[in-house]
Amino acid sequence: MHYIPASSPPKALDVQAFASENGVLDGVDGLEHYPRLTSDQFKPDEASQLSAQIKVHWHAEGELRTVSVAAHQVWLHLGAQVALPMTCQRCLKTVALPVEAKQSFRFVSSEQQAESEDDDAEEDLLVLTKHFDLHALVEDELLLAIPMVPMHDVCPEPQVFAAQDPDFELQEAAAPHPFAVLASLKVKKH
């Protein structure tokens, strides 16, 4: 096992060499290095403020898997987590949503090979390169792991309709009970 400390995922990783030495890389990186994770949710100044304190935890392992005496497969196992600030779709306040990605990739020698094997393979296929952008892969995988509708488990404030109409409860309390109306009609008959 080969351990290399790092903070940002490398942007030019020799995948074959990494797998051959059973390489392990992991680190804790600032969210500000992942602009695609915040650009949809926040204005640029808001995003940079938030992302200064938020960290992306990532981990990568290389594996050379022996298929037969003469054949090896190049694998990369990736994990990444971040508590991503997003806008809750119920109360519209910020929620720090735990986003977690975990995926294994098998590297093949060409785009054609990836296309021809893709239908049969359960794992994701990528094309082998000496300059693989692991940083972009971490960002891609976290983007894919973001829930479609981000929400608090329990929102910190009352529901929006009640907050917008302070008279809501008062009006309901002031409305006469139907039986009370009937009773007053009976009284008028006498």
Number of Cα atoms under 13 Å in the Cβ half of residue 77: 8
CB nearer to Zn ion: pick between 19 and 91: 91
Instruction: Give min distance, CB of 150 to Zn ion, in A.
Output: 9
CA gap 9, 15 in Å, rounded: 13
The β-bridge partners of 136 are none
Instruction: Give min distance, CB of 176 to Zn ion, in A.
Output: 36
CB nearer to Zn ion: pick between 59 and 152: 152
- Strand boundaries in 7-93, DSSP class E: 23-30, 55-66, 72-87
Instruction: Give min distance, CB of 157 to Zn ion, in A.
Output: 8
Instruction: Give min distance, CB of 49 to Zn ion, in A.
Output: 20
CB nearer to Zn ion: pick between 89 and 110: 89
Question: How many residues are given for the chain?
Answer: 190
Judged by CB under 5 A, the chain residues 67 through 106 that form the site for Zn ion are 88, 90-91
CB nearer to Zn ion: pick between 66 and 164: 164
Judged by CB under 5 A, the chain residues 109 through 138 that form the site for Zn ion are none
Q: Which of 54, 64, 125, 155 binds Zn ion (CB under 5 A)?
A: 155
CA gap 169, 8 in Å, rounded: 53
Instruction: Give min distance, CB of 9 to Zn ion, in A.
Output: 31
CB nearer to Zn ion: pick between 57 and 90: 90
| Cα Rg, the chain, nearest whole Å | 27
Number of residues that bind Zn ion (CB under 5 A): 5
Is 55 near Zn ion (CB under 5 A)? no
Q: Can you tell me whether residue 141 is helix, strand or coil?
A: helix
CA gap 113, 94 in Å, rounded: 44
Q: Which of 57, 59, 72, 152 binds Zn ion (CB under 5 A)?
A: 152
Instruction: Give min distance, CB of 151 to Zn ion, in A.
Output: 6
CA angle, 157 as apex, 156 and 162 as ends, to 5°?
Answer: 155
Dihedral of CA 144/133/6/72: which sign? Answer: positive
Contacts with Zn ion by CB under 5 A lie at 88, 90-91, 152, 155
